Amino acid sequence: MPGNLRVLIIGAGVGGLALAQGLHRAGVEVTVCERDLSPLGRLRGYRLRLDPNGLDALDRLLPAPLSRAVWDASSTPSRTSYLNGTPPEEPVERDVSINRRTLREILLHGLDGVVEFGRECTGYRLDDAVTATFADGSTASADVLVAADGANSVIRRQYLPHARVMDTGVRIMYGRFPLTRDTAGLIPDEWFGIYRGLFGPDHQHIGIAPVHPRRPAPLPGLTDTGDYVMCLLAARTELLPYSDVELRAATGLELRDMTVSLARKWNPKAGELLALADPETLFPVFLRTSVPIEPWPTTPVTLLGDAIHAMSPAVGVGANTALRDAELLAAKLTETDLLPALRDYETAMISYGFDAVRTSAKFGALRMGQPPLTQA
């Protein structure tokens, strides 16, 4: 099947690009269509946690040099090693963080001619082949259409109109500040690591995560993002002085002042760290989660990642689950019988994907006041 199979992926996020890498490496004809005009795209965050599932999936999907680049660009920060200028010890477990932009640049490496930017998908039609339609009036046809276009997936809305994404009522303000010897000295030892979560009244949550890659640019052309500390504050809407409309319109300085004011009431030390954030780096995220649904009849249209199982970041497994999807789907698409292969993929993905949604929702309730999942 790889010799003549055509796969069209909508969305050039982590999951879509990882799948494209695996298929391209296996000799499958693959095209990725992304609505962003360039790889820089929209701001989605400053770091991702990669656990053993995610790292193992990347090892199997990517050529060895790219897999190694992911590891070299990842971070297992240690305050002692940072201040002493020595490399951090190899982690006991494969649990690291990586800059989102860096990971995307690595995943784009070698996909020239495969990824097409400025292609905004508006839907699809299914007949002898699957044909995606685009905002500019163009179309693209393939044997398999993969929705990797995130929680707002246009493919999911058409294909599975009963699949819901619910608002949790939690808002997260993300920012970052430079990691230097001076700022590292302000971070308590016990807060310096992969990620430190601090828990306050009314389910308020502060996160501190230094990012210090082993090698800043392990591949030619990668952006040196520098050393920095990702910081966040999560709170329910009723605790915020802004409505959602006002939150979207707020300046970075207004967002920073708000987060610092909230944090100082219950953790002054963390509030001082949040005050270091560059206002230009502040942005809000309106936390949503998918609602698990039952399996659906298999067709040549399928989904991966947030397009089907968006989840709370409470346990940091969203990207890793998308990478697990990509690995499994890439393997299945090299099998002989297309629909049985897709059915096997969806059966497994629906099970572990929605298990991750439920686990994330459970800990999201404990750590950020996320409400219970509703019924589909």
Q: Whole domain around residue 221: which residue ranges?
A: 167-287
Encoded amino acid at 228, one letter: Y
Overall average pLDDT of the 303-331 stretch: 97
The answer to whether residue 246 sits within a structural domain is: yes
**What is the bridge-based pairing of β-strands 121-126 and 130-134?**
antiparallel
pLDDT exceeds cutoff 90 at 23: yes
pLDDT of residue 333: 96
Give DSSP secondary structure letters for 152-165: T-HHHHHH-TT--E
Overall average pLDDT of the 85-89 stretch: 71
The answer to whether residue 1 sits within a structural domain is: no
For the ranges 95-104, 187-196, 222-231, 251-260, the one whose mean pLDDT is highest: 251-260
* Percent over 90 (pLDDT), the chain: 84
pLDDT of residue 3: 54
pLDDT exceeds cutoff 80 at 126: yes
Compute the half-sphere exposure of residue 178: CA atoms within 13 Å on the CB side of its CA. 4
Tally of domains within the chain = 2
Tens-place pLDDT, residues 2-17:
458 999 999 999 999 9
59 & 158 share domain: yes
Q: CA 369 to CA 91: how far, in whole Å?
A: 31
Q: Which residue has the higher pLDDT, 88 or 229?
A: 229
Choosing from 267, 287, 307, the residue where a domain stops is 287
Lowest-confidence region among 81-85, 90-94, 178-182, 319-323: 90-94
pLDDT of residue 92: 59
* Percent over 70 (pLDDT), the chain: 96
DSSP H or E run through 53: helix 52-61
- CA neighbor of 147 nearest in space, from 341, 8, 332: 8
Q: What is the CA radius of gyration of the chain?
A: 21
The answer to whether residue 283 sits within a structural domain is: yes
User: Do residues 208 and 231 lie in contact, with contact meaning Cβ atoms separated by under 8 Å?
Assistant: yes
**What is the bridge-based pairing of β-strands 130-134 and 139-142?**
antiparallel
- CA neighbor of 23 nearest in space, from 363, 332, 267, 262: 332
Joined tokens for residue 264: 């100082």
The answer to whether residue 102 sits within a structural domain is: yes
pLDDT exceeds cutoff 60 at 22: yes
Orientation angle between helical segments 64-73 and 100-108, nearest 10 degrees? 170
| pTM confidence score | 0.95
User: Do residues 327 and 61 lie in contact, with contact meaning Cβ atoms separated by under 8 Å?
Assistant: yes
Choosing from 287, 314, 338, the residue where a domain stops is 287
122 & 13 share domain: yes
253 & 219 share domain: yes
The answer to whether residue 80 sits within a structural domain is: no
Joined tokens for residue 372: 């219970």
User: Do residues 304 and 144 lie in contact, with contact meaning Cβ atoms separated by under 8 Å?
Assistant: no
Residue reference for tokens 């608002």: 167
Average pLDDT, whole number, for the chain? 94
pLDDT of residue 150: 96
CATH code, domain carrying 59: 3.50.50.60
Helix (H, G, I), strand (E, B) or coil at 370: coil
pLDDT of residue 114: 97
